[in-house]
Amino acid sequence: MIDLHTHSLFSDGELAPAELTRRFEVAGYRAFAITDHGDQSNIDLIIPRLVAFCEEHNSRGGMRVIPGIELTHISPESIPTLVSRSRELGAKLVLVHGETIVEPVAPGTNRMAIESSADILAHPGLITEEEVVLAKQRAVYLELTSRKGHSLTNGHVAQLAKKTGAPLVLNSDAHAPGDIWPAAHLQDLVVGAGLTEDDYHTMIKNAEYIVQRCLTSKI
Ligand SMILES: [Zn+2]
Ligand SMILES: [Zn+2]
């Protein structure tokens, strides 16, 4: 199993990277990404530390950990610069905190995240069909999530992705040990959003592809 969206205590998660990693390992995951909330004030603090942790951890084999960032509540016009800056700082995976219906995320965030070629648009809320088509064209993955609140629009995102062929991934957005989704129920979450078992397997392949891309990228 793979999870590409989690938080450590470098933002509002409960655990340090080492314990978060151990918890995912024990839960049976073989790769996961730490993607703390970032903005103009902190990406230069968070990303190099996550990079250092992941390099040391991955040098010993076993579960792969990917250093990432979730650009969160930044103005849409600042997104392109911060996506680039995050990659320069060493983030292998750049998420943008999308227009969830349970927070006042600035309108235009979804579109700018896609146009900036972020890797994953997290919890995109009531994303439009036009934006979903654009995500497909730009190869930006859209997220289904097990996170309470954000998950309320999984069905909407799933329906539009299915209709247009846009790529999906399934993440936990874990902030605490109890948020690590049990393997046996991951497929239920996808089927519950109106998709099929085959769609679930496609999502697993998408996550595997992203992990490979992260682990082999030089930047
Ligand atoms: Zn988020
Ligand atoms: Zn998050």
Question: Mind listing the pLDDT tens digit for each residue in 83-125?
Answer: 999 999 999 999 999 999 999 999 999 999 999 999 999 999 9
Rounded Cα–Cα distance for residues 68 and 86 (Å): 8
Q: What is the mean pLDDT of the chain?
A: 96
- Distance between Cα 149 and ligand 1 center (Å): 11
Work out the percent of the chain whose per-residue pLDDT is above 90: 95
Rounded Cα–Cα distance for residues 85 and 219 (Å): 11
- Distance between Cα 97 and ligand 2 center (Å): 7
Rounded Cα–Cα distance for residues 41 and 74 (Å): 11
pLDDT digits (tens, 9 = 90+) for 7-59: 999 999 999 999 999 999 999 999 999 999 999 999 999 999 999 999 999 99
Task: Write down the pLDDT at residue 152.
Answer: 97
- Distance between Cα 137 and ligand 1 center (Å): 23
- Distance between Cα 197 and ligand 2 center (Å): 25
pLDDT digits (tens, 9 = 90+) for 118-148: 999 999 999 999 999 999 999 999 999 999 9
Rounded Cα–Cα distance for residues 38 and 142 (Å): 19
Task: Write down the pLDDT at residue 153.
Answer: 98
pLDDT level of residue 218 (50, 70, 90 thresholds): low
> Is 171 in contact with 203 (CB distance < 8 Å)?
no
- Distance between Cα 106 and ligand 2 center (Å): 16
pLDDT digits (tens, 9 = 90+) for 68-88: 999 999 999 999 999 999 999
- Distance between Cα 174 and ligand 2 center (Å): 7
